[in-house]
Amino acid sequence: MQKNTKPTKWWWVRHAPVVDADPMVRISGQLDVDANVSGEKNAKAFKWLAQTLPAGGKWITSNLIRTRQTAEAIQGAGMHPEQMEVVPELAEQDFGRWAGMTWAELGTLESGEGAGFWAAPATTAPPGGESFADLIDRVGPAIEHLNEQYAGHDIICVAHAGTIRAALAHALGLEPQMALSFNVDNISLTRIDHIESGLKLKRGGHWRIVSVNINC
């Protein structure tokens, strides 16, 4: 059987900002908080994505409601409604008992947990949660499974900043600490291709980074 030679194109979209929370100061993690899909600025971004994303793509969201709400807003801005597949393994990093706290509050914990996190943010797991390195280990196999399932197709994945950084780390074989340097804005687009033929790496096939954190 001849192998597929058409690239599998990943269209990664970070969800819209969460409601009543500044993502720069508050840790949402796996809290199931709503996305703010209203406002002129968000509407402009949704319309841009609706015009940019490919028709007939395979739509994927995490199990957190803010990704589904964002996907529905994009489709409602001018795309034909497509069925969405929920993949829990693509959820945001689990921040355990830190979820819902502000970064300032984390720094005041008597246990010194905040200091330990800032010393090694990629490999330190919050109490009851997971590290960013753990997130990469969770996201990578899910990506490889979807590559096999939808080989040669467009995959539109509405996910989270941590998930998208993990996808870039997986594609590039980066150390977790290096991947944290990627900026991933709300309602931004990151494009990655997986190519089955050609140079073979341990993850199977090879990757091409097309663009990172593109905004309208």
pLDDT, tens digit, 9 for 90 and up, residues 61-107: 999 999 999 999 999 999 999 999 999 999 999 999 899 888 778 77
Judged by average pLDDT, the poorest of 22-36, 83-97, 119-133, 200-214 is 200-214
Give me the number of domains the chain comprises: 1
Q: How far is CA 131 from the centre of its chain?
A: 15
The answer to whether position 2 is within a domain reads no
Beta bridge partners of 173: none
pTM for the whole thing? 0.92
Higher-confidence position of 204 and 163: 163
Query: Which residues are CB-contacts of 109 (< 8 A; sequence separation ≥ 6)?
Result: none
> How many angstroms separate the CA atoms of 23 and 199, rounded?
39
Residue 1 belongs to a domain: no
What's the domain range around 18? 8-214
> Considering the domain boundaries, does residue 128 fall inside one?
yes
97 within a domain of the structure (yes/no): yes
Find, among 9, 49, 17, the residue nearest to 185 by Cα: 17
With respect to residue 3, please indicate whether it lies within any of the assigned structural domains.
Answer: no
Cβ proximity of 166 and 14 under 8 Å: no
CATH number of the CATH domain containing 70? 3.40.50.1240
